[in-house]
C-alpha cells in the first residue's frame, strides 16, 4: 500500500514455531490498524485489529503490537499450524481528512508440517 510498508514478503516456518510480520506507516493521523488473512482463492478476512490508543492486543495464538512513536506495528503468531498458511495483509486507516484504508503488499506465510 502507498502508506504502509510490510516485511517480509515471504516467510517460511516449521509447525510450532512463531511467525512475526512487521509493518510501518507514515501518516501520524492513522488510528486503526487491522490485519487480514487471505487464503488461496478466498476473500481477505480480519483476524485482529488494534487502535492507536492501545499498545498491544492478543487473541489466543495471535497478537498485535503497536509502537506509535516509531510508527510501526507487528503481527505475532505463536505455535503456528499448517492452516495458518496464507497471505497476511496489514492495514492502515488514516483519519483526519484522508479516509483511506490501505494495505501493505502482503506476506506469504508457509507453515511446514
Partner 1 sequence: DSGVTQTPKHLITATGQRVTLRCSPRSGDLSVYWYQQSLDQGLQFLIQYYNGEERAKGNILERFSAQQFPDLHSELNLSSLELGDSALYFCASGSGNTEAFFGQGTRLTVV
The reply on whether position 80 binds partner 1 by CB under 8 A is no
The reply on whether position 43 binds partner 1 by CB under 8 A is yes
Q: How many residues does the chain have?
A: 113
CB atoms under 10 Å from CB of 69, counted, come to 6
Residue 23 C-beta: closest distance to partner 1, Å = 12
Kindly tell me which of 81 and 101 has the beta carbon lying closer to partner 1.
101
Kindly tell me which of 49 and 65 has the beta carbon lying closer to partner 1.
49
Q: Find the helix or strand (DSSP H, E) in which 34 lies.
A: strand 30-38
Q: Which of 2, 14, 69, 113 binds partner 1 (CB under 8 A)?
A: 2
The reply on whether position 89 binds partner 1 by CB under 8 A is yes
Q: Which of 5, 31, 65, 78 binds partner 1 (CB under 8 A)?
A: 31
The reply on whether position 45 binds partner 1 by CB under 8 A is yes
Q: Which of 12, 26, 28, 51 binds partner 1 (CB under 8 A)?
A: 51
Q: Find the helix or strand (DSSP H, E) in which 45 lies.
A: strand 45-51
Q: In this structure, what C-alpha cell is assigned to residue 85?
A: 498458511
Amino acid at each position: 500500500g502507498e502508506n504502509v510498508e510490510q516485511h517480509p514478503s515471504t516467510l517460511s516456518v516449521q509447525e510450532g514455531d512463531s511467525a512475526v510480520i512487521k509493518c510501518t506507516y507514515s501518516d501520524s493521523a492513522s488510528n486503526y490498524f487491522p490485519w487480514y488473512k487471505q487464503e488461496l482463492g478466498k476473500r481477505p478476512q480480519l483476524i485482529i485489529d488494534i487502535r492507536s490508543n492501545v499498545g498491544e492486543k492478543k487473541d489466543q495464538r495471535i497478537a498485535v503490537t503497536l509502537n506509535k512513536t516509531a510508527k510501526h506495528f507487528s503481527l505475532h503468531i505463536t505455535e503456528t499450524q499448517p492452516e495458518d498458511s496464507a497471505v497476511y495483509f496489514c492495514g492502515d486507516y488514516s483519519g483526519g481528512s484522508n479516509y483511506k484504508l490501505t494495505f501493505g503488499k502482503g506476506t506469504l506465510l508457509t507453515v511446514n508440517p
